[in-house]
Amino acid sequence: MIQKKILTAGQLFIILAFAGALIGPPPAGAQTTAIIPDQSYDASMPFIADSSVIIDGDIQDDEYGQIYENVPTGITVAWEYNDDNMTIGLEAAVTGWLAIGFGTGMEDSNILMVGVADSTVYCYDIIGLAGFDHADDVDEGGVDNIVSCAGTESGGTTTVELVFSFTPVDALDPIPEVDTIAPFFVGLNEDSDDKTRIHDVYDHNLDLYYKPSTINMETEMLLSAPDHVHQMENFSIEATIQDSNSDPVPGIEISIGYKTVFGNFLMTDGITDAQGKLTVEIFFENVLGPITLIAISQELLTVVDSTNTAYLSTEAELDITVDGEVEEEEPSYVITSRWALVGGFWLIGIIIWSTFGYNFYVIIQIFRHRNDPLPGEGSTEVSS
């Protein structure tokens, strides 16, 4: 039994929008790049090159690439596809038939109608006809492309799994195109296995995204910066991202900062260039002493042909020391002016004190000679 992991159209749209935001230029050497459609879709079917699904009428949680639940009908669809075939599991709490169709409505659509009647499973490859009719492909000049089919009906729940092959090519059946969106619909009859009995419920005009395969690619980051830097002084940090083949990965967003006791303090970010390199300039104002720089890359998702590559996030650390601010050497004119001021100050001081000293000396002299006769008044020698 499936434990339902459901993605609503809204959630899928958010995931797509997020993936779209992460998409950057393709890795060097990539041939063609398709971008994940930016329109929303209701469901997606993943490309899985080597399917590991076992067709036994039991859908396991992680057996299929993806599981989709159609709420209006209550049908759960587990599915995946590759170049050779489509593997589909249908499950619903009914005892009648279940069906999935590829197209906008019954007419001209490829329909797979399945169920279990009297403990016998049936899987029909049918084509929708005009007037809400349908017929087996083989009766309309097509081919029965269902190569494997198994199912169970227990406790009022029907589960059927099948493999739908793309060969031989049947003109009545469309072949999924990787990285495109196509319409589909589902329907069921609650308790009849009569394939001519009309559905009790159906849901149509649904969008199915044929998702490329996903490869998770490990990335590695090389981080370099000077061992010692000074406060208030710009320095360069260089971060380079390469994949597990040692090829540079452009377009990855990297956040750079340093570790603190409260966690990482991220200071700046940027995107790697064609060489997988990001260079940023930063400076520290209040940080002093040994610190650990940290760079964290975000995940990047790119779609190349049928491969959807997720470059996984990585991080790198580097220990450096932040020394105190470097005292700036003053320009020579400042030093000269300062000495000139000091010299001038002393000169003026000397002049003032000299003048004061001379005046003091003169005053002393005046006092000392105050009883001296004035010139011309000297003592007269009287001769007898």
Nearer of residues 77 and 254 to ligand HEM, judged by Cβ: 77
Map the footprint of ligand HEM across residues 93-112, applying CB under 6 A.
Answer: 99, 101, 105-107, 111
Residue nearest to ligand HEM (CB): 105
Residue with tokens 């003032």: 352
Question: CB–CB of 22/301 below 8 Å?
Answer: yes
Task: Give the nearest distance from C-beta 75 to ligand HEM in angstroms.
Answer: 9
Task: Give the nearest distance from C-beta 125 to ligand HEM in angstroms.
Answer: 12
Q: Which stretch binds ligand HEM (CB under 6 A): 159-167, 197-205, 217-225, 323-331?
A: 197-205
Nearer of residues 99 and 291 to ligand HEM, judged by Cβ: 99
**Nearest partner of 238 among 298, 278, 291, 284, judged by Cα:** 278
Task: Give the nearest distance from C-beta 318 to ligand HEM in angstroms.
Answer: 59
Q: Is 139 in the site for ligand HEM (CB under 6 A)?
A: no
Nearer of residues 37 and 183 to ligand HEM, judged by Cβ: 183
- Tokens in use for 215? 């490869």
Separation between Cα atoms, residue 161 and residue 90, nearest integer Å = 6
Task: Give the nearest distance from C-beta 133 to ligand HEM in angstroms.
Answer: 7
Over the window 60 to 99, marking each residue x when it contacts ligand HEM by CB under 6 A and - when it does not, the resulting string is ---------------------------------------x
Q: Is 160 in the site for ligand HEM (CB under 6 A)?
A: no
Task: Give the nearest distance from C-beta 109 to ligand HEM in angstroms.
Answer: 8
Over the window 340 to 359, marking each residue x when it contacts ligand HEM by CB under 6 A and - when it does not, the resulting string is --------------------
* SS3 annotation, the chain: CCCCCCCCHHHHHHHHHHHHHHCCCCCCCCCCCECCCCCCCCEEEEECCCCCCCCCCCCCCCCCCEEEEECCCCEEEEEEECCCEEEEEEEECCCCCEEEEECCCCCCCEEEEEEEECCEEEEEEEEEECCCEEEEHHHHCCCCCEEEEEEEEECCEEEEEEEEECCCCCCCCCCCCCCCEEEEEEEECCCCCCCCCCCCEEEEEEEEEEECEEEEECEEEEEECCCEEECCCCEEEEEEEEECCCCECCCCEEEEEEEECCEEEEEEEEECCCCCEEEEEECCCCCCEEEEEEEEECCEEEEECCEEEEECCCEEEEEEEEECCCCCCCCHHHHHHHHHHHHHHHHHHHHHHHHHHHHHHHHHHHHHCCCCCCCCCCCCCCCC
Nearer of residues 195 and 211 to ligand HEM, judged by Cβ: 195
Separation between Cα atoms, residue 298 and residue 121, nearest integer Å = 48
Q: Is 191 in the site for ligand HEM (CB under 6 A)?
A: no
Q: Is 197 in the site for ligand HEM (CB under 6 A)?
A: yes
Q: Is 185 in the site for ligand HEM (CB under 6 A)?
A: yes
Q: Is 335 in the site for ligand HEM (CB under 6 A)?
A: no
- Tokens in use for 248? 């540079």
Q: Is 124 in the site for ligand HEM (CB under 6 A)?
A: no
Task: Give the nearest distance from C-beta 140 to ligand HEM in angstroms.
Answer: 15
Q: Is 187 in the site for ligand HEM (CB under 6 A)?
A: yes
Q: Is 204 in the site for ligand HEM (CB under 6 A)?
A: yes
Task: Give the nearest distance from C-beta 59 to ligand HEM in angstroms.
Answer: 19
Out of 196, 332, 383, 384, which residue is the one contacting ligand HEM (CB under 6 A)? 196
- Tokens in use for 261? 């006791």
The size of the interface with ligand HEM (CB under 6 A), counted in residues, is 19
Task: Give the nearest distance from C-beta 200 to ligand HEM in angstroms.
Answer: 10
Question: CB–CB of 206/70 below 8 Å?
Answer: yes
How many C-beta neighbours within 10 Å does residue 288 have? 14
Nearer of residues 107 and 220 to ligand HEM, judged by Cβ: 107
Task: Give the nearest distance from C-beta 119 to ligand HEM in angstroms.
Answer: 22
Q: Which stretch binds ligand HEM (CB under 6 A): 49-57, 183-191, 297-305, 362-370?
A: 183-191
In residues, how long is the chain? 384
Interacting residue ranges for ligand HEM, rule: CB under 6 A: 99, 101, 105-107, 111, 113, 132, 134, 185-187, 195-199, 202, 204
